[in-house]
Amino acid sequence: MLSPNARKGLVACTSGASCNGGLQQLTIDPAVVPFLAIFPLPNSTVKGNTGFYGFVTTQTTNEDLSTIDADHNFTQNDSIHGTLLYDTAAIDSADSTAHLYDEAISRRTTAALEEIHIVSARLTNSFRLGYNCPAAIAPNEKAVVNPAINNPALDYYAGRRTGELAISGLTTSQGGSGAVGINPYHYSSYQLYDDATYIMGKHSITFGGNIEYDQNNALGDVLPNGEWGFGSINNFLTNVPTFFEGGTPNTPVIPHDLRQTIYAAYVQDSWRIRNNLTFI
């Protein structure tokens, strides 16, 4: 964080006409003054223009896992097995600058069904269906820790809260409410497998194939409130930015939806040449 001296424009220096006793007085730009409120005073070691700020926060983690397994034998030659799993978790914590208290959520649903059929003494077939769907959403704002971060006077865009603020030498401020956007991610995988084994003398021939269809849906609202970057603390205090990054206020959030289908087939022959030697 900014040291007490730096907050007054009194910064460390090594040379120059205005450098006196290792300190230089800068005139803080009036537009920068309101932003000083989002940097808490250091409460630990101070060195030069910066100091360490430590804070105590809670980090709550919850997870619930449910699973169901079922087996059934229709006949001696035909059986089925199924599994259903649902896992949901959430973690709450303050951001790195103690401005907001956020939540990250993850969920996973998995289902599998397998049918094994003994066709004959030589032929066995296994048919499987699978479904897997993980999802994640973050960050969800739960509370405002430092109200100064949502001061309308700090908005980069009218009607939006403070965006990100990156200053070389300081921990990046992630901004106010909604500054990093909400990023939902959903993935679905549908799977079909069929495998068969045929015994012929000393040969065990396994063959089969699979089809998998994947859906990847991501919605990233990147820097919706913008980001100012400064190459040094001096440049920040005098309002000399290095860059500004952000979409226009009307920039639409475009989903990124990917699809793929995977096909595969195989044949494998295990030849038992001797009792202690098998060639594959």
Given this model, what pLDDT does residue 223 score?
81
| pLDDT for 280 | 74
Do the domain assignments include residue 15?
Answer: no
What's the pLDDT at 169?
92
Q: Is residue 105 part of a domain?
A: yes
In a domain, 9, yes or no: no
**Whole domain around residue 115: which residue ranges?**
59-279
Residue 108 lies in a domain: yes
> Which residues of the chain, if any, have pLDDT below 50?
none
Q: What pLDDT was estimated at residue 107? A: 95
Alpha-carbon torsion (231, 236, 237, 238), positive or negative: positive
- Is 66 within 8 Å of 116 (Cβ atoms)? no
99 domain residue, yes or no: yes
Say what the pLDDT of residue 240 is: 95
Determine the pLDDT at residue 130.
Answer: 97
Please state the pTM of the whole predicted model.
Answer: 0.73
Say how many domains are in the chain: 1
CB 218 within 8 A of CB 183: yes
Tell me whether residue 167 is in a domain.
yes
Q: Smallest Cα–Cα separation from 144: which of 169, 178, 114, 113?
A: 178
Count other Cβ atoms within 10 Å, centred on residue 227. 21
| Sign of CA pseudo-dihedral 237, 238, 242, 248 | positive
Q: What is the pLDDT of residue 122?
A: 92
Four-CA torsion 34, 24, 235, 27, nearest 10 degrees: 40
- Report whether 219 contacts 229 (CB < 8 A): no
Give Cα 134 to chain centroid, integer Å: 12
Answer yes or no: is 148 within a domain. Answer: yes
Residue 20 lies in a domain: no
